C-alpha cells in the first residue's frame, strides 16, 4: 500500500492532504523521514506523523450522529463552540464526513478513515444524501418540483438534477449527490421558497432512524462495508460514463 493511502485509511488526513504532509517531511517510517507519498508500506513498519505512531487501519471506526441545531460540523472550533466531534467520546482522532450548516440537523458521520471520508463526500463519487425540508411559505407547486428535478441555476453553476417529492404542502424530501455550500437552501431559494427547517435523514444507504438529537452509535462492520461498496460503485459508474 502506498504511504499516503495508508495515512488516509488510518485517519490522519485525506489522501491529498496526506501527500502534502509526507512531502513536508512530517512522516517517518521506521525512524527515517520519508518525503515520497508513493513509498510502499506493509503496515508492519513503525509509521509516525509528527512523532506520534499512526494507528493501523484495522482500527477504523465510523459513527452515525444526529447533529442538533447550534452544533458546528468541525473537529475543533477556535471560538470554543460545541462541535459534532465533542458529542462522541472516542480515543480515535475523529473528524466529520462533510458538513451540515449550524442550524441544519440530522445525520452526519464521524470517522478516523480519511480515505472513506473522501470517497463519501467527493461529488465525483455521487453518494446520495437525502434531506427533509420545511419551507416558510407553502405550498410548493409542481413547477418548483420540476425545476428541482431538472436542476436549477445557482451562482456557482447549475445544480445536478435532484430527486424531489412532496410530503406535505410545505414539506419536501430531496436527494442530491453534490455537496456545495448551503446547496439545499440555495436550490429552494432559486425556486421561490425559503427553508425554515432542514434535516438530513439519509446518507447513502444509512438512515437516521430513531437516533435522538445529540446521540450517536458506532456503525457495524456490515454498514461500513455497504457505504464503501456504494462509493466504489459510484467510482465505476463514473469511469464507465467517461469511457
What is d(CA 197, CA 77) in angstroms, rounded to the nearest whole number?
24
Annotation marks residue 101 as catalytic? yes
What is the number of residues in the chain? 243
Q: Where are the beta strands (DSSP E) in 102-176?
A: 105-111, 129-135, 153-154, 157-158, 163-168, 171-176
**Residue 243 grid cell:** 469511457
Candidate list 40, 77, 101, 170, residue with the active-site label? 101
What is d(CA 16, CA 99) in angstroms, rounded to the nearest whole number?
19
How many secondary structure helices (H) and strands (E) does the chain include? 6, 15
Judge whether 142 and 169 are in contact, CB under 8 Å. no
- Catalytic center residues: 101
Amino acid at each position: 500500500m502506498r504511504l499516503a493511502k495508508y495515512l488516509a485509511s488510518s485517519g490522519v488526513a485525506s489522501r491529498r492532504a496526506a501527500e502534502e504532509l509526507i512531502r513536508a517531511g512530517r512522516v517517518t517510517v521506521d525512524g527515517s523521514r520519508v518525503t515520497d507519498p508513493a513509498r510502499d508500506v506493509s503496515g508492519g513498519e513503525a509509521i509516525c506523523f509528527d512523532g506520534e505512531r499512526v494507528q493501523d487501519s484495522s482500527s477504523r471506526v465510523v459513527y452515525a450522529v444526529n447533529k442538533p441545531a447550534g452544533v458546528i460540523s468541525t473537529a475543533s472550533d477556535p471560538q470554543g463552540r460545541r462541535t459534532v466531534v465533542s458529542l462522541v467520546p472516542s480515543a480515535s482522532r475523529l473528524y466529520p464526513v462533510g458538513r451540515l450548516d449550524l442550524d441544519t440537523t440530522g445525520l452526519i458521520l464521524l470517522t478516523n478513515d480519511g480515505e472513506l471520508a473522501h470517497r463519501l463526500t467527493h461529488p465525483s463519487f455521487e453518494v446520495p444524501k437525502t434531506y427533509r425540508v420545511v419551507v416558510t411559505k407553502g405550498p410548493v407547486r409542481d413547477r418548483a418540483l420540476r425545476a428541482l428535478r431538472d436542476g436549477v441555476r445557482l451562482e456557482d453553476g447549475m445544480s445536478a438534477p435532484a430527486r424531489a417529492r412532496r410530503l406535505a404542502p410545505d414539506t419536501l424530501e430531496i436527494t442530491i449527490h453534490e455537496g456545495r455550500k448551503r446547496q439545499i437552501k440555495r436550490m429552494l431559494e432559486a425556486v421561490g421558497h425559503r427553508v425554515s427547517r432542514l434535516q438530513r435523514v439519509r446518507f447513502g444507504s444509512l438512515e437516521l432512524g430513531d437516533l435522538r438529537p445529540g446521540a450517536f452509535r458506532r456503525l457495524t462492520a456490515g454498514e461500513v462495508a455497504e457505504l464503501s461498496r456504494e462509493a466504489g460503485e459510484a467510482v465505476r459508474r463514473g469511469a464507465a460514463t467517461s469511457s
